[in-house]
Structure 1
Amino acid sequence: MGPESSRGDARANASQPSDRQEGSVADIVADEALDWFARRRNAGPDAAEEAEFEAWRQRSSHHAEAYGDLEALWGSTAFAAAARSLPIGEPYRASDTKRRPARPKPAVPSAARRRNLRFGAVAALLMLAFGIWQAPTLLLRWQADYITAAGDRATIRLPDGSTLILNTASAVALDFESGRRDVRLLQGEAFFDVRHDPEHPFRVAGRFGVVEVKGTAFSVREDGSQDIVILERGHVAVSLVANKAAQAALEPDQQVIASADALSAVEPADPAMALAWRQGRIVFDDQPVSRVLAELRRYRSAPVVVASGLAEEFRVSGNYRTTDIDGALRSLAAAAGVSVTSLPGGILILH
Structure 2
Amino acid sequence: MMAVPTPTDHDRAALDTQAHDWLVRLTSGRATTGDAQDFRRWCARSPQHAQAMAEATRLWDLTRPAAKAVAQRMPAMDVPPRAAIAVSRPPAFGRRQFLGAALAAGAAGFLVVRPPAGLWPGLSDMTADYRTGTGEQRRVVLTDAAAVVEMNTQTSLNLARGAEGEPPVLDMLGGEAQVLLDAARRTPFTMTVGGARLVAAAASRFNVRATGGEVCVTCFAGSVELRDGERVLVAGEAQQIRYGGRREAEVARAPDLATVGAWRERVLVFDDTPLAAVVDEINRYRPGRLIVTRAELGQRKVQARLRLDELPHVETLIAVSYGAKLTSLPAGIVLLG
The Cα of 1:311 is off from its aligned counterpart by 3.1
3-state SS, counterpart of residue 263 of structure 1:
strand
The Cα of 1:315 is off from its aligned counterpart by 0.7
Q: Which moved more, 1:172-181 or 1:146-155?
A: 172-181
TM-score normalised by L of structure 1: 0.65
Structure 1, unpaired ranges of 5+: 1-21, 41-66, 90-117
Aligned residue in 2 for 1:158: 142
1:229 aligns with 2:217: yes
Aligned residue in 2 for 1:27: 36
* Counterparts in 2 of 1:348 and 1:35: CA distance versus 1, 3 Å: farther
* Counterparts in 2 of 1:129 and 1:255: CA distance versus 1, 3 Å: same
Identity over the aligned pairs, expressed in percent?
23
| Equivalent of 1:172 in 132, 141, 157 | 157
The Cα of 1:285 is off from its aligned counterpart by 1.7
The total of aligned residue pairs comes to 273
1:212 partner letter: V
The Cα of 1:209 is off from its aligned counterpart by 4.1
Q: Which has the higher helix share?
A: 1
Aligned residue in 2 for 1:98: none
Q: Distance in 2 between matches of 1:84 and 1:30?
A: 20
Q: Deviations over 1:125-165 (max 9, x none)?
A: 664332111113113444x2112222222211112342112
| Equivalent of 1:262 in 248, 255, 277 | 248
1:263 partner letter: A
The Cα of 1:334 is off from its aligned counterpart by 2.0
The Cα of 1:88 is off from its aligned counterpart by 3.0
Q: Distance in 2 between matches of 1:31 and 1:175?
A: 28
1:342 aligns with 2:320: no
Structure 2, unpaired ranges of 5+: 1-30, 63-76, 78-82, 115-121
**What CA RMSD, in Å, does the superposition of the two structures yield over aligned residues?**
3.9
**Residues 38-57 of structure 1: matches in 2 within 5 Å?**
none
2:235 partner letter: A
Does the Cα contact within 8 Å between 1:159 and 1:176 map onto a contact in 2?
Answer: no
The Cα of 1:292 is off from its aligned counterpart by 0.9
3-state SS, counterpart of residue 302 of structure 2:
strand
Q: Deviations over 1:42-78 (max 9, x none)?
A: xxxxxxxxxxxxxxxxxxxxxxxxx9x9884265679
Aligned residue in 2 for 1:146: 130
Q: Which moved more, 1:341-350 or 1:177-186?
A: 177-186
Q: Distance in 1 between matches of 2:35 and 2:90?
A: 31
Does the Cα contact within 8 Å between 1:163 and 1:193 map onto a contact in 2?
Answer: yes
Q: Distance in 1 between matches of 2:305 and 2:42?
A: 35
Does the Cα contact within 8 Å between 1:207 and 1:241 map onto a contact in 2?
Answer: no
Does the Cα contact within 8 Å between 1:183 and 1:204 map onto a contact in 2?
Answer: yes
Aligned residue in 1 for 2:113: 135
Aligned residue in 1 for 2:307: 321
**Residues 157-236 of structure 1: matches in 2 within 5 Å?**
157-160=141-144, 161-177=146-162, 178=164, 179-213=166-200, 214-232=202-220, 234-236=221-223
1:230 partner letter: T
Q: Which has the higher strand share?
A: 2
Aligned residue in 2 for 1:297: 283
Q: Deviations over 1:69-112 (max 9, x none)?
A: 988426567999997578436xxxxxxxxxxxxxxxxxxxxxxx
| Equivalent of 2:265 in 279, 284, 287 | 279
2:35 partner letter: A
TM-score normalised by L of structure 2: 0.67
* Counterparts in 2 of 1:337 and 1:275: CA distance versus 1, 3 Å: same
Q: Distance in 1 between matches of 2:293 and 2:210?
A: 27
Aligned residue in 2 for 1:8: none
Larger-Rg structure: 1
